Structure 1
Amino acid sequence: MSSINDSKTAILSTVINFELYRKSAQLFPKNTKKYVIDGTNGMHGLQSIFYMMKKLRGKGIEWLVMADEDVLFQNSELVSEIIQKMKKGNYTVCGVRDGGLLSHRNYNPFLINTFFSIINFKEIESNWDKKQLVKNDFVLDNEFDDDIKGLKGMYDVKSLYEPYYVFYLWLRRNNKRFLFLDSNHPFEEDQISNTVYFENKILLHHTWFARAYGTNEKHTKRINAIFDLLNFESNIEVNPVVFKDKWYYLSAKVSKWIRRIMRRLRIKKKEERIK
């Protein structure tokens, strides 16, 4: 493992399985500040992004690597090379398309999946506008000109499958450049995990099913097989800065309850108008 020679680069993980994180984080680039959002209370996706901006703004971070705990780096030194390419090419976001590459992700190919990404946090921080961001929950015909004809898998250019898509749609509609990485399923006995490449070099393996690690025999064995592939023997103590919104579970329940009531009231008013 090598370090990123940039003190203004950090790594953030939204974690639901701390047992897995304590192992996988040892494969993260060394000497890089690690932050964790505790997702054991249900926080993830778009809400995690909002919380990320709340907790990390003003900390002097220029580049932020977002990596789930089921991401196992094989060549973490490539992160530094990717950032250098992003700087030179004026890219704001780097990641893997959420359609057209992986067998079980056939959604929007113009956007990325958040299991791994690198973002120009400084740029996003300076332009952050949550109110405008949430207005981007829609797709337009022929809006983006990416050449996706060569994608080997299924995809849906009109998909809004993930709520966090609005974050990336907001960025794209503000003319921010995306650097897309290649990915596939290279393991014959494991058609769930995928490998991510940068310029034909293996960057990392994403195992999926983080929640199941340590409790489900099939997925634990499958994930451990990749640890074995990486000759993982390290026992480094990982001490990230952990953020947790202790009221999130309750507030999410209340918000869901309010939305349900409002929906019923709208239905009732509609029925009354019809009568």
Structure 2
Amino acid sequence: MESLKNKVAIFTTVANFELYEKTSNLFPVGIQSYVIDGRNGMHALHSIFYMFKKLKKEEIDWLIMADEDVIFKNPQAVFGLIEFMKENNYSVSGVRDGGVIKHRNNNPYVINTFFSILNFKKISKLFNKSEIIRNQYINKGEFEEDLSELVYGFDKENLYEPYYCFYFWLRRKGEKILFLNSKMIEDENEQISNEVFDANGTTLLIHTWYARSYGKNEKHTARIDEVLKQISFASNPRKPIIFKDTFFFIKMQVSKTVKKIKMKLS
């Protein structure tokens, strides 16, 4: 297990460092943490591309992606999940973005990026940005799977998130996704968060959502703090390696302006 830890890292695109300082105490112990400073708007597909760019020279076999509103309950269980993925040739694991979470009725053939595990070493060798971008489409009936146990709504042809192309690309490359089970936490004070389980059915984490609202919105701050109160943990402060694309916001504004000009000219 120790040899595995040396090749595992955890990565977070952080929009709310106040929340990250609390939840990162619960991250798996003994692995390096990496952060992209997302306060300039970097997230989703841009974050994925930037992640591969910045980490390509690191000796990482497996990469855990976890948002700052993810609260681990059994953090060390990720290593057992990685072993399961290795044994069964899975390149990605995560929770479907449709049919599993009450307020996410999108595409069930891809995951939501709030939490996932990537076979980073393998995917890095395949990585091709221009190829990935061209995969933001889905053919009817292309990924037929048994979805009969999904309890919430979904749309098989949905392209809601721009990052779907990354997972469509992987699937078209023949890479396997392990879809993790999840259930909503539903009591009188909490009907937003979802609990995620590993391959053996053990609770792994709770995703509270609305990280950007923490410390700004009273309802969501109290709700997330209540989840944190239910988990006992010792202080395990992180010393993450932080990356930031200083000119990202400017580049996005320029890109939007160019697109508007092209639309007017056409």
Distance 1:231 1:62 in 2: 30
Q: CA deviation at 1:147?
A: 1.1
Alpha-carbon deviations, 1:114-159, whole Å to 9, x = none?
0000000001101111111111011101111321122111000000
Pair 1:206-2:223 in alignment: no
What does residue range 1-275 of structure 1 map to in structure 2 within 5 Å? 5-188=4-187, 189-198=189-198, 199-232=200-233, 234-266=234-266
Tell me the SS of whatever aligns to 1:136: coil
- Aligned partner letter, 2:41: G
Moved over 6 A (4+): none
Q: Structure 1 vs Structure 2: percent identity of aligned residues? A: 48
Corresponding residue for 1:271? Answer: none
In the aligned structure 1, how far is the partner of 2:70 from the partner of 2:93?
A: 15
Distance 1:178 1:147 in 2: 14
The code of the aligned residue for 2:213 comes to A
- Which digits, 9 at most, give the CA deviation of each residue in 1:5-62, with x for residues without a partner? 4201000000000010011011000011000000000000000001001100021111
Between the aligned partners of 2:99 and 2:165, the Cα distance in structure 1 is 19
TM-score (norm 2): 0.97
Contact 1:3 1:29 in 2 (8 A): no
SS in structure 1 opposite 2:84? helix
2: CA distance, partners of 1:236 / 1:205: 18
Between stretches 256-265 and 28-37, larger displacement belongs to: 256-265
User: Which SS does the other structure have where 1:100 is aligned?
Assistant: strand
SS in 2 for 1:208: coil
Q: Decide which moves more: 120-129 or 183-192.
A: 183-192
| In structure 2, distance between residues paired with 1:12 and 1:204 | 16
Once residues 25 and 180 of structure 1 are traced to their aligned partners in structure 2, the CA distance between those partners, rounded to angstroms, is: 24
Distance 2:60 2:241 in 1: 14
Distance of 1:106 and 1:141 partners within structure 2: 18
Q: Give 1:4 deviation, angstroms.
A: 8.2
Over the aligned positions, Cα root-mean-square deviation in angstroms equals 1.3
Q: Which SS does the other structure have where 1:95 is aligned?
A: strand
The residue type equivalent to 1:100 in the other structure is G
> How far apart, CA to CA, are the structure 1 residues paired with 2:13 and 2:45?
11
Give 3-state SS (helix, strand or coil) of 1:255's partner.
Answer: helix
Hey, what does 1:272 align to over in structure 2?
none
Report if the CA contact (8 A) 1:93-1:177 is conserved: yes
Decide whether the 8 Å contact of 1:61 with 1:122 is kept in 2: yes
Aligned residues: 264
Q: Which has the larger radius of gyration?
A: 1
Q: Tell me if structure 1 keeps the 8 A contact 2:95–2:111.
A: yes
Question: What code does the residue aligned with 1:117 have?
Answer: S
Instruction: Please give the TM-score of this superposition, normalised by the length of structure 1.
Output: 0.93
Task: Give 2:216's aligned amino acid.
Answer: T
